[in-house]
Structure 1
Amino acid sequence: MRYSVIVPLYNAESTIKACIESVINQTYKDFELIIVDDGSTDKGGAFSDEYAKKFDNVKVFHVENGGAGKARNIGVSLSKGEYLLYLDSDDEWESSLLKNLEEYSSDVITFGYKIDYGQKIITKKIINESEELNVLNAIRIL
């Protein structure tokens, strides 16, 4: 297993489906998706269970509410991947994210973002794709 994607979940029924879909639709497939339901009182945990029934690489664990940090740590303890990635339950990935991680052998990885407000989309790249990330650039960016 190359990657373990850990998603802490708490009352995110309105966003968790899109989050999960963004991971299972990755073009690179050597990953597991670990969702730690942190005591949700909405349908987010049940929605996640449905994906776990359909996809062998999706695992859902239901735990007593302890906060996002504790949920992430539980996910880490259950992970089998060589590398760990975290994704919040209200965020989504582009379908090529894992493929791009595989193609570029990097010591440091930074992510930009895209916020979709419906009629307005705000995009921010951390660095240009052609810009080499060296130690000084990494310090400037971080």
Structure 2
Amino acid sequence: MREKIKISVIIPVYNAELYLEKCVNSVTTQTHRNLEIILINDGSTDNSGLICNQLASQDERINVVHTENRGQASARNKGIDLATGDYIGFVDSDDYISHDMYETMLEKSLTENADIVQIGHYVVSPNGEKINTEKRGETEYISYKDSIRANVIEKLIVSSICDKLFRSSLWTNIRMADGYYYEDGMVLLNLLRISKRVLLIENVGYYYVLSTNSTQRGPYTIKHLKSCLYEPKYYYEFFKNYYKELTDYGIALYCFRAMRGYRFAQSIANLDENKKEDYEAQFKEKFITNYLLLKKTHFFKGLSIYQKTALYIFSKSPKIYLSLFSAIKK
């Protein structure tokens, strides 16, 4: 019976008092009732911890864990460790979901024997105004190379774990890279690698809220800089080991993350000048080494004129690149 299948929903919480109640209520009111809702309060300094406790007192399916602040990846890993469901889903504490999202994805997983199901999503403002809609036609992947290509090259499989439902067995030996941002995309590579069937469905059910807590919207920190160095290394090593045909993508990622990291370094408040110069030097070194390699690859030919121009300008002068990037953003 479908109603006996338990879904563990993991919600990492950090300073989300403005959004948390709406987020959790969208989960507790799911049409699929057999849920285990795990709130990991990651050392919040606002009223989020109190709100977590209040919500748990109203619904016995909610389990609250309070931890020291260690970041979203650590909080999610803690939730995975505690999860007892047949399936695992993730919701960020400033987002929310449609009332039947998990029932819809579970039904598809069971009827199509899919290890991972991805649903479409809306991008919305904090007041609920729809900014963008991302959905795909129903598509299945039974080769991990096809699903990984659909993720990193074709961008059909979104590099997020929040718009997906996973069989919990996939997570037996997999956890997220702790201490870095962009953990979704990195862990998804390995989940796609071990999945026998991945299904994209036409329904739309997840609401990404463009809140001030977004990793990409700042304020930027040393963690952003470390992540811009670590992420491309992770991708490159993964492709070298499991999908050699995409190692060129790893080389390109080294270049683009070096450019991003160099930009971030200019925006970090109170960053020691010596540390700033050290990170800038690391980003320039990573860029130069990999840009020379990238230009010799077939992948480089497929880049847009805009991308090739940005790469060229950065190779000649990171300072000029920064000025032009700022002007375009304005």
After TM superposition, is the score higher than 0.5? yes
2:52 to 37, 48, 51: 48
Q: Unpaired segments of 5 or more residues in structure 1?
A: none
How far is the alpha carbon of 1:102 from its aligned partner?
2.2
The whole-number CA distance in structure 2 between the counterparts of 1:76 and 1:120 is 32
How far is the alpha carbon of 1:103 from its aligned partner?
1.6
The structure that is strand-richer by fraction is 1
Moved more, 20-29 or 118-127: 118-127
1:62 to 59, 63, 66: 66
Q: Is the 8 A contact 1:110 1:126 kept in 2?
A: no
1:33-71 deviation line (CA, Å, top 9, x unaligned):
100001101001111111111111001110111111111
Secondary structure of the residue aligned to 2:119 is coil
2:30 partner letter: Q
Larger radius of gyration: 2
The whole-number CA distance in structure 1 between the counterparts of 2:139 and 2:46 is 44
Moved more, 116-125 or 94-103: 116-125
How far is the alpha carbon of 1:123 from its aligned partner?
3.8
Q: Is 1:133 the counterpart of 2:140 in the alignment?
A: yes
Secondary structure of the residue aligned to 2:37 is strand
Moved more, 80-89 or 99-108: 99-108
Aligned partner of 1:98 in structure 2 is: 102
Aligned partner of 1:113 in structure 2 is: 121
Scaled by the length of structure 1, the TM-score of the pair is 0.88
How far is the alpha carbon of 1:116 from its aligned partner?
2.9
Aligned partner of 1:7 in structure 2 is: 11
Structure of higher RCO (CA pairs closer than 8 Å, 6+ residues apart)? 1
The whole-number CA distance in structure 2 between the counterparts of 1:109 and 1:124 is 18
The whole-number CA distance in structure 2 between the counterparts of 1:120 and 1:19 is 16
Distance verdict in 2 for CA 1:75–1:45, change over 3 Å? same
Q: Is the 8 A contact 2:108 2:117 kept in 1?
A: no
Scaled by the length of structure 2, the TM-score of the pair is 0.40
The whole-number CA distance in structure 2 between the counterparts of 1:116 and 1:86 is 18
Q: Is the 8 A contact 2:9 2:36 kept in 1?
A: yes
Q: Is the 8 A contact 1:6 1:87 kept in 2?
A: yes
4+ aligned runs moved over 4 Å, structure 1: 135-138
Secondary structure of the residue aligned to 1:111 is strand
The structure that is helix-richer by fraction is 2
Q: Is the 8 A contact 1:113 1:124 kept in 2?
A: yes
How far is the alpha carbon of 1:91 from its aligned partner?
0.7
Q: Is the 8 A contact 1:5 1:84 kept in 2?
A: yes
The whole-number CA distance in structure 1 between the counterparts of 2:62 and 2:49 is 13
Moved more, 110-119 or 74-83: 110-119
1:133 partner letter: E
Q: Is the 8 A contact 1:6 1:76 kept in 2?
A: yes
Aligned partner of 2:287 in structure 1 is: none
2:139 partner letter: E
Secondary structure of the residue aligned to 2:36 is strand
Secondary structure of the residue aligned to 1:110 is strand
The whole-number CA distance in structure 2 between the counterparts of 1:96 and 1:41 is 32
Taking only aligned residues, the RMSD between alpha carbons, in angstroms, comes to 2.0
Aligned partner of 2:88 in structure 1 is: 84
The whole-number CA distance in structure 1 between the counterparts of 2:86 and 2:77 is 16
